[in-house]
Every structure is written in C-alpha cells, then in structure tokens.
Amino acid sequence: MITWDKPMKTDSVQRGGALVVHPPGTGLVTPSPADGEDGSNDVALVNEDPNEAEDGNPNIEPEDLNTTSQKRKRFEDKRRDLIGKSVEFSRKAKAGEGGGLVKEVEWKFVDPDSINKVDISGVPGRRGWSDKKQVRVLRNFTINSYSPTNLLDLYRHLWPGDIQKQLGRINAQARLREGDSWVSITEFEFFRFVGLMIGAVLTGVIGVEALFSPSEEGLFMPSINFSEYMTLKRFKQVKRYISEAFANRDLLAENAWAMFDDAVSWYNENRKQNIIRSPEIIGDESMSQFAPQTTKKGGLPNISYIQRKPRPLGTEFKDTCDALTSMMLHLEIQKGEEVQQEMEFAGDVDKHGRGVGVLAATGLRLALASV
C-alpha cells in the first residue's frame, strides 16, 4: 500500500488517499489522473453556490469554504464518488506486438480504510505487522544486539554506487589537470572528507579557511580545527574534484545531466537492494538549494523556482519516502518540461484517448519504482 500524503501537489487536500500497487497488468490503485494533470480537479465543491454553507446559512463568507474541515469534507465526498472507478493506460505497440495500443497499467480507486495491510503479500516483518513497529529495515547488513554498530560501516553500506569506481573517476580527472603532482585519493580519505563536509555544516562557520585556523577556545564552543584530520591544501584539492565521483563524462556531450545522473541511479538501486519497505510510502518533492552567482542557471541544464519552498531556488526532486521508517526510497530529478515530456508514461493514453500528463506520469514512475 502506498499512501500519498501530498500526491505530487503540496497544497493538495488529499491527505490519506491510498494507492495499492500491483505489477503492471494486474492493476494500480490510485485517484484517476484524468481529473487534471495539476490536481486542480481533484476536489469538487459540494455546494453549487459558494456563498451557501452546508447548513444552508447564506451569511457565511465564501472564504470559510477553505477551512481545513471544509476541504476535508469536499475531498471525502469526491473520494466516495470515485471508489470503484478505474482508468486504463496504454502505450503504442512496439515492433512485434501487432500494432495499435497495448494496455500497460490500470489505476483503480479504492477506499483505503478497506485495505487490510496484513493481507498484502510481501509485507516485511513478523505476522501481525503493526503500523508502529517493523522488525527489520536493512538487508544485507548484520546488527549485533550485544555490541555497538559501527556507524561508518552502516554509512558505507548505504552509500550509492561502487566507491572504487568513483575513486577511479576522481583520480583520472585530477591527474589530467594536476599531472603527477596529484596524490591518489583513497577510500579512507574520501570518507574522511565527506565527514568533514558534514561537520562543517554543523559548525555554522563561514569560509573554508576558518575551519582550519584554530582560535582560542570559546566559553561554550570548543575551538574548531579541521587541520587535525586533513590539511587545508588537500581539502581544497579533494573539494575541487569530488564531483567527478558521479560524473559520467562519456555521456556528457549528449546529456548535460550526466554529471549527476549516476548518483541518483545508484542511490535508487542501493535503496532497492538494501531497504525493506513498509506498506506505507509517501510521495512528495524536495529541493536541493542552489543560488547561481554569475549566470542564470549556474551551469546546470535546468533550475527550478518553487515559491512556497523555504529555499525556493535549486534542483527539484520528486521522491518517495517510507512513512514508518523515514527512509528516502526513490529520487527523480525534475529536468525541465521538455525532458519530462519524453520520459516513461508521459503521453500515454487511456481507453478513452485521454493523455497522461507529465505530473501523472511522474507519479506513476515513482509508485512503480518504490515497490
């Protein structure tokens, strides 16, 4: 079961809607995307006259219809009307499939309260699984109950991709520019650098140099001196080439996102292999803040601005997260409208000839990738 807290639209009132996901061809349960790509028709007004309240009192102002309770009531009424209805989506047949349209998936709306989670096959944990407890979350990682877990081992277990391949990319590019003066970065040094980057955020200090210049110990805060772990010169060297770990330069000429696509793919693969999902998965969106200084996009192929976000400028991700363990399960970069229109399911049609919008296609990809 996938519960969409905010189904691809953060100001949606559809809290608590439910998706039951099955393999393609057996049915995917969700609100019909035909109601509108942007979710604008997801909620229908109960009263035709917006100035009339449910109790018939015409003196209530129209804005009172926007209270949380009124929104919830309208959503529940709309959801009740949709229960049992389904929408089929097809794609153009590929070579050897006989031509025409091929049914790919069916979305059917059901009442989430009717779903018995224990009856869903593949639910992790012991029999009688509850919403508040899951026995195991990690795969391929042993935790000894009698000794503390090495957090670095856990961090490396969840690290996206092959670290040795990533080190090879960093060293190769660094040698092209630095020549024989470059000292190969090791796995130990790589994770030490990552740790220092995380630690730098926690200090609140501005400027790299300040992190490597010990000052007199303050009254409440100890002196910060990263030079105990790495020299400032080496830190700057590694920082200059660290992004090469995820850069696939062989594809960069035809794909501007090749500098980071591997990071997202490897992250998704790692979570698929190593995280046991609970039945409840939340779909939402996230922002990676980025504020270009000299150019409009700061060298990125696309940059998003979402005013309602605390940090509105940067790279937008659509994502899914396990509602019970808080583990992020799947990420997808939003690369701009033109690119998104070419991605899987976008432009597919249902049996009535209605097309799947970019947003609905994104939601379908996330749902299928998260189970």
- Asked if 31 contacts 7 with a C-beta cutoff of 8 angstroms, the reply is yes
CA distance 185 to 309: 37
pLDDT in tens, 208-222: 898 998 766 556 666
In this prediction the pTM is 0.66
* Class of residue 248 by CB neighbours under 10 A (exposed 0-12, middle 13-18, buried 19+): middle
Least confident among 80-89, 95-104, 199-208: 95-104
Q: In Å, how far are 25, 99, 100 from 95, measured between CA atoms? A: 19, 7, 11
- Per-residue model confidence (pLDDT) at position 207: 85
Average pLDDT, the chain: 75
- Asked if 59 contacts 65 with a C-beta cutoff of 8 angstroms, the reply is no
Token pair for 175: 């040698």
Q: Where are the domains of the chain?
A: 2-137+337-369, 157-250
Q: In Å, how far are 152, 179, 198, 264, 345 from 158, measured between CA atoms? A: 10, 33, 16, 13, 30
> Average pLDDT of 178-203?
93
